[in-house]
Amino acid sequence: MTMTTDSRSLTFRAAAIVLGLAVGPAALPESGPATTAPAERGIDLAGIDDTVAPGDDFFAYANGAWVKTTEIPPDRSSYSTGTMLEELTSQRTAALIKQAAGRRAPAGSEARKIGDYYSSYMDEASIEAKGLRPLQPTLDRIAAIEDKEALARALGGTLRADVDVFNNTNLYTGNLLGLWVAQDLDDPARYSPFLLQGGLGMPDREYYLDPSPRMAEIRSKYQAHIAAVLNLARVADAEPRAARIFDLEHGIAQAHWSRADSEDVVKGNNHWTRQDFEARSPGLDWPAFFTAAGLKDQPVFVVWQPNAVTGISALVASQPLETWKDYLGFRAIEHASAFLPKAFVDESFAFYSRVLTGTPKQRDRWKRGVAAANAALGEVVGKLYVRRYFPPSEKARAQEMVRNLTEAFKQRIDRLAWMSPETKAKAKAKLATLKVGVGYPDKWRDYSGLEVVRGDALGNARRAEIFEYRRNLAKLGKPIDRTEWVMTPQTVNAVNLPVMNALNFPAAILQPPNFDSTRTAAMNYGAIGATIGHEISHSFDDQGALFDATGKLDNWWTKEDLAHFQASSRELVKQYDGYRPFPDIAVNGKQTLSENIADVAGLAAAYDAYRLSLGGKKAPVVQGLSDDQQFFLAFTQSWRQKIREPALRQRILTDSHAPAEYRGDTVRNLDAWYVAFDVKPGQALYLAPADRVQVW
Ligand SMILES: [Zn+2]
């Protein structure tokens, strides 16, 4: 949950959590859901480019005509089936929220909260009239900081539950540090507070340190952006202050871990007692920091990037107080910008969306309002959404697919020739305790403690953030709640919670064309089936292999099994390192490894599950395509995407997923694909049978 529900945080989020998939017509009518007749809902034949041989470039074969005729909407940095479904879901949730706003439900009720939250955000006239006033108390408090102890208190006061190492894999926070409360990796019976590095205004350390001219240009634009924000806030001497703020962030970036290091679970699992902070990270007044953060009685933390915390803490001591105050003031404005007057919103868009992702047009305010309401009161909106759009029959149908996928996985484990019986038994134990959530959580979050005041857009956002922070702090010392969801039902995505050994498949991803009762089983298994398989297999990928059935960080593989697994992983790293979207930049096979393993394993399991679903019957030819052709085309069409160059470059640096195009080419690791499309040696995607990666 974040206060920056503008395009910036959406962009960062998108980079972290995109799974967005599936197939469908190039665009849906603005007015509502796809109402096309069943016959038109199969494989998108018009989207195929049959001038390309499937074996040379399967993504281009499956999607080439669609790519040629599709324009990325001006308010988007990319366009895909996922974004199309997001648009549709956004329209639906907006209608539900507006209904709630119009009714003026009883004070304190959930409907009233959501209505008031949205209305306050949409009331631009009142936001404009107030100017910076709603933020003034915060800025005054920063101005009054007179020593490093007060600075530590101010920094501690910014700590929020805004990062997530494994679930949504959101490693970014603009605050100096970020908090994630999750099951402890050594002791699955309790929650631990995880502290992550933060404090940068740009998405990753690379933006500060990469010497290329491209990045140097982005840096100078960022410094100009800082100055522009300070000028808008009528801060004197904006340019020299901007230079000092930039330098401070540059210093923070130097202390940061790289994305790949931050994804290394074993490296990150460092338990620090309170004394360790003083001993190992002098500089920041830790007692003052933790007291302000409401964590003064917490004895142990997991410090995910220890030397980053040490480096950041040293900067608190070495850099002048005035610089830190300027930095804090600037960050406070940035953080609030979505809820400030238009000039601030536009300046934020100009840098974060136009410069960083190449998006020309700002998203309509109502769409940003829906996103803001989802961020603050996600499960309230979700409850309304599933009541209207996710009937029990759809839930049952999805659960049936999950059962087949799980069974397919179990059979694959049994069949693996290279795996020892002990490891197999442990893998099956893990599969048996996997908790699969479909559509929405079993129990909904209680928002009764959240105060929403009509007319106070910024205050509402701040209270929602603090509410979420306290909700997370309250978990400390309590038993683990395995029913908790980390995605709202109206999210077009899916997620594996590796430590909790649980999966969430939100209702919004379980809709056509991903999951469509009018399409053939082969198509459904190729699209949503592969996604379900992808998420299940995360429990068994390079990270999943580290956690046992209880979520304890305890590698459950024998040495030999692990060696085989790592050898397969190396092959896959090589495969993805070979993909070059631009001459100067390649996909990072190591950074994307877990996701790539999940793609390969998920597709293979979906293929088996499809066979299981047939129960020995033969499937008919549909649209002139065999069922295997339908399966693979549905899969790769589900990965269709157009993306602007700066956005793609940003994702390659910050995303743990490979670009969509290469995810669509996962098919080259399955033998059945070679038969279905008559792929021969010499073709560009051809892999000799020994080079096809089969982890599971
Ligand atoms: Zn994944």
Query: Which tens digits make up the pLDDT trace of 36-58?
Result: 333 357 999 999 999 999 999 99
CB 315 within 8 A of CB 252: yes
The alpha carbon of 643 and the centre of ligand 1 are apart by a number of angstroms equal to 20
Whole-number Å distance, alpha carbon 363 to ligand 1 midpoint, is 27
Q: Which helix (H) or strand (E) holds 193?
A: strand 191-197
What are the φ and ψ backbone dihedral angles of 197, each rounded to 5 degrees?
-65, 150
CA of 71 to the centre of ligand 1 (A): 27
Q: How far is the CA of 599 from the centre of ligand 1 (A)?
A: 8
pLDDT at 40: 54
pLDDT tens figures, 182-202: 999 999 999 999 999 999 999
Tokens representing 629 are 């052709």
Rg of the chain taking only CA atoms, in angstroms: 25
* Percent of all residues in the chain with a pLDDT value above 90, rounded to a whole number: 82
Quick: pLDDT tens for 587-613: 999 989 989 999 999 999 999 999 999
Instruction: In whole angstroms, give the CA distance from residue 151 to residue 162.
Output: 21
598 Cα–ligand 1 center, Å: 6
Above 90 in pLDDT, residue 300?
Answer: yes
The alpha carbon of 531 and the centre of ligand 1 are apart by a number of angstroms equal to: 8
pLDDT of residue 36: 33
Q: What is the mean pLDDT of residues 322-351?
A: 98
Q: List all residues 6 or more positions away from 680 whose beta carbon is below 8 Å from its beta carbon.
A: 55, 686
The alpha carbon of residue 541 and the mean position of all alpha carbons in its chain are separated, in whole angstroms, by: 18
Residue 534 Cα to ligand 1 midpoint, Å, equals: 6
Question: Would you state the structure tokens that stand for residue 614, as one six-digit string?
Answer: 């047939």
CB 614 within 8 A of CB 554: no
Cβ atoms of 434 and 501 within 8 Å: the answer is yes
Here the tokens at position 277 are 């902070």
Return residues with CB closer than 5 A to ligand 1 (ion). Answer: 595, 598
**Collapsed DSSP state (helix, strand, coil) of residue 488:** coil
Q: Give 221 Cα–ligand 1 centroid separation in angstroms.
A: 33
Band (30; pLDDT cuts 50, 70, 90) = very low
pLDDT confidence tier of residue 209, bands split at 50, 70 and 90: very high
Cα-to-centroid distance, 662 and ligand 1 (Å): 14
Length of the chain in terms of residues written:
696
Summarised one tens digit per residue, pLDDT across range 140-167 is 999 999 999 999 999 999 999 999 998 8
CA of 154 to the centre of ligand 1 (A): 36
Q: What is the rounded distance in angstroms from the CA atom of residue 254 to the CA atom of residue 420?
A: 44
207-221 average pLDDT score: 97
Q: If you measure from the C-alpha of residue 606 to the centroid of ligand 1, how many angstroms do you get, rounded to a whole number?
A: 15
For residue 553, which phi and psi values (nearest 5 degrees)?
-75, 95
Neighbouring residues of 517: CB distance < 8 A, sequence distance ≥ 6:
397
Q: 């920094």: which residue's tokens? A: 155
Tell me, what's the pLDDT at 28? 29
Q: Which of 219-223, 231-235, 288-292, 647-651 has the lowest mean pLDDT?
A: 647-651
> For residue 105, what pLDDT is reported?
85
CA of 595 to the centre of ligand 1 (A): 5
**Tens of pLDDT, residues 509-537:** 999 989 998 999 999 999 999 999 999 99
Report the separation in Å between the CA atom of 443 and the middle of ligand 1, taken as the mean of its atom positions. Answer: 25
The answer to whether residue 583 scores a pLDDT higher than 90 is: yes
Name the band, by pLDDT with cuts 50, 70 and 90, for residue 360.
Answer: very high
Structure tokens at 78: 């990319």
For residue 617, the 8-state DSSP code is P
Q: Which residue has the tokens 């982005």?
A: 218
Q: Is the peptide bond before 513 cis (omega within 30 degrees of 0)?
A: yes
How far, in Å, is the centroid of ligand 1 from the Cα of 192? 23
How far is Cα 314 from Cα 225, in angstroms, rounded to an integer?
Answer: 27
Q: How far is the CA of 535 from the centre of ligand 1 (A)?
A: 6
Mean pLDDT computed over every residue of the chain: 91
- Higher per-residue confidence, 36 vs 633: 633
CA of 654 to the centre of ligand 1 (A): 14
| pTM, rounded to two decimals | 0.85
The strand order across the sheet containing 300-303 reads 177-183, 191-197, 300-303, 271-273
- Nearest to residue 217, comparing CAs of 31, 343, 373, 356? 356
pLDDT > 70: what percent of the chain? Answer: 94
How many other CB atoms are found less than 10 A from the CB of residue 463? 18
pLDDT, residue 100, reads 84
User: Taking 70 as the threshold, does the pLDDT of residue 8 lie above it?
Assistant: no
